[in-house]
Structure 1
Amino acid sequence: MSAPILVMGATSGIGKLAVQEATHREIPVRAFARSADSLEKSRLVEPFPGDATNREDVAHALKGVRAVIYALGISESLSMLWEKETLFSTTTQILVEAMSEASVRRLVAVTGYGSGRSKDAMSTIEKLGHRALLGRVYADKDRQEQIILHSALQYTIVRPVILTGGPRSGKAKVKRNPTGWHNGIVSRADVAAYLVEAVEDDLDIGRDVVLAR
C-alpha cells in the first residue's frame, strides 16, 4: 500500500469529504483534526488527533506521508466582522516549515474565491459585500496564500466559489486562466474530488485555480 495522504481538517466540511473520496479510491489517509479520535479507524483511515497550531503535532502527523491536503475551516460567527483572523496564516506557516523539514513537498490547499489575485476578478459590488462580511477572514487567507507562494513546495492553491452541500456532480470546472474566473456555486463534494485528483494525478502544480460550476 502506498504512503498515506495527510488531510488537515478531516472531520468536517471539505476535509471530511476528501477523506471519503480518497478511501472510495482505495487511497490511504491520515485524518488530522482536533476531534479525529471520533473517527473510526479502518484499513485506509488513520485517525490522527492534533492541533494544527501546534508545531509538534503537525511535525508528528507528517511522518511517512506523501502529500498534504489542507482543508481547515472556521465556524461562522458575528465576531468575524470585527475580530482579526489568524488561523489560516498561522497554521499554514507551521505546516510549510514542517513539510520542508520532513521533505514532504506536495501541498494542495483550499483557500477561497476572493483571496489572492482572484479578488481582481470580482465586480465592485462583489468586492464591497465580500469585504464587509468576510474582510478579516480573507485578509488572513491572503496572508496564507503568500506563505504558500513563497515556499519551495509543489503547491496547488484551490479557490472554490460559493459552497453547497450537494452531491458530487462531476460538473465542476477548474478555472486556470484568470480571464475565466467568476463567482458561482460548487459542491463541497466536487471540491473534495478535485483535491484528491490533484494529489493523485499531479494536477496544477505551482498554480492557483478557481473551482466553479
Structure 2
Amino acid sequence: MKFAVIGASRGIGRKVVEEALERGHEVRALSRHITAQDISGDGLTALDGDATNATDVANVIEGVDAVILTLGVPKDMRVLKATTLFSDATRTLIAAMEDAGIKRLITVTGFGAGDSKDKLSTPERLTQKAILGGAYADKDLQEQLIRDSDLDWTIARPGILSDNRKSNAYKVLVEKETWRNGLINRADVADFLVTAAENNSHIDQTPALQR
C-alpha cells in the first residue's frame, strides 16, 4: 500500500513511518523539517511542509491509499497554552482528501479527548487540564470535525506514552465501558495504526489503546 503520514518526524509519526516501511509499504511523509532528520528507507518520500498548508498537504497525499495523521503536542503548547493546530490541520486535510477522492483516514488524538474524558479519574482530569488543557480542547474539536466528515475514519486514543520496544501485547478497547487510561508504547500505537490501514478495520470507531 501507499500511505501518507503527516507529523512524521518524531514520536508516533516516526514510528509509523518505520513500521510501514518495515512491512514493505510506500510512505510519503510530511513534517516541517523532515529532510533534515536521519530518517530514510526504501519506499520513503520525505517532504518538508506544514500540516495546515493546503498545497503541502495536497502534495503529500497525492496517490495514496490511506492517510495517517499523527500530530503531536509541541513543548511550547503545553501548560494551558491555547492552540488551533489540530483543528486547522484536520480541516485542511479533510478538504484535501475530499478533493483527491481519498476516503481512509486514521488519526491519533489521546485518551481524554472527546467522550473518553468521562473515563478519566478526577486527578487524571485535573492533571491533563493543567498541562495539556489547550491542546486537548482543540483535539476535541479535531475529533468532531473528523466525525462530521464523509471519510472512512478511525480515531485512536492511546494513553500515557513510552518509548519501549514494540510488545505486540497491547489492548484495543472499542466499547466505552472498557475504556481506561494506562501506559502504551509508541511503537505499539504505530503497529495499530498501520494494521488498521492495512485491514481497513475499526472504521467509525474511537478505540482506546492500552498495554
Q: CA deviation at 1:42?
A: 4.1
Q: Quick one: distance in 2 between partners of 1:165 and 1:185?
A: 11
Alignment of 1:91-110 (within 5 A): 91-110=89-108
Q: CA deviation at 1:99?
A: 0.5
Which residue, 22, 25, 28 being the options, matches 2:23? 25
Q: Quick one: distance in 1 between partners of 2:48 and 2:108?
A: 20
Q: CA deviation at 1:89?
A: 0.6
Q: Quick one: distance in 2 between partners of 1:135 and 1:83?
A: 7
Q: Secondary structure at the match of 2:19?
A: helix
In structure 1, the partner of 2:176 is 178
In structure 2, the partner of 1:194 is 192
In structure 1, the partner of 2:138 is 140
Q: CA deviation at 1:128?
A: 1.7
Q: CA deviation at 1:140?
A: 0.5
Q: Which stretch has the larger CA shift, 124-133 or 20-29?
A: 124-133
Give 1:44's aligned amino acid: G
Q: Secondary structure at the match of 1:89?
A: helix
User: Is residue 80–residue 132 contact of structure 2 (8 Å, CA) maintained in 1?
Assistant: no
In structure 2, the partner of 1:167 is 165
Aligned residues: 210
Give 1:93's aligned amino acid: R
Q: Secondary structure at the match of 1:207?
A: coil
Q: Quick one: distance in 2 between partners of 1:179 and 1:50?
A: 39
Give 2:210's aligned amino acid: A
User: Is residue 108–residue 157 contact of structure 2 (8 Å, CA) maintained in 1?
Assistant: yes
Q: Secondary structure at the match of 1:7?
A: strand
Q: CA deviation at 1:38?
A: 2.5
Q: CA deviation at 1:35?
A: 1.3
In structure 1, the partner of 2:114 is 116
Q: CA deviation at 1:36?
A: 2.1
What is the alpha-carbon root mean square deviation over aligned residues? 1.3
Q: CA deviation at 1:210?
A: 0.4
Q: Quick one: distance in 2 between partners of 1:42 and 1:186?
A: 26
Q: CA deviation at 1:20?
A: 0.6
What does the per-residue CA deviation read over 1:160-193, in whole Å, with 9 as the maximum and x for residues that have no partner?
0000010000111000011111111000000001
Alignment of 1:27-106 (within 5 A): 27-38=25-36, 42-77=41-76, 80-106=78-104
Instruction: Note the residue ranges of structure 2 that are not aligned, 5 or more in a row.
Output: none
What TM-score, normalized to structure 2?
0.95
User: Is residue 80–residue 129 contact of structure 2 (8 Å, CA) maintained in 1?
Assistant: no
Overall identity of the aligned pairs, in %: 43
Q: Quick one: distance in 2 between partners of 1:29 and 1:80?
A: 30
Q: Secondary structure at the match of 1:208?
A: coil
Q: Quick one: distance in 2 between partners of 1:94 and 1:75?
A: 19
What TM-score, normalized to structure 1?
0.94
Q: CA deviation at 1:74?
A: 2.5
TM-aligned CA distance change 1:129 to 1:66, over 3 Å: same
Q: Secondary structure at the match of 1:60?
A: helix
Instruction: Note the residue ranges of structure 1 that are not aligned, 5 or more in a row.
Output: none
TM-aligned CA distance change 1:64 to 1:186, over 3 Å: same
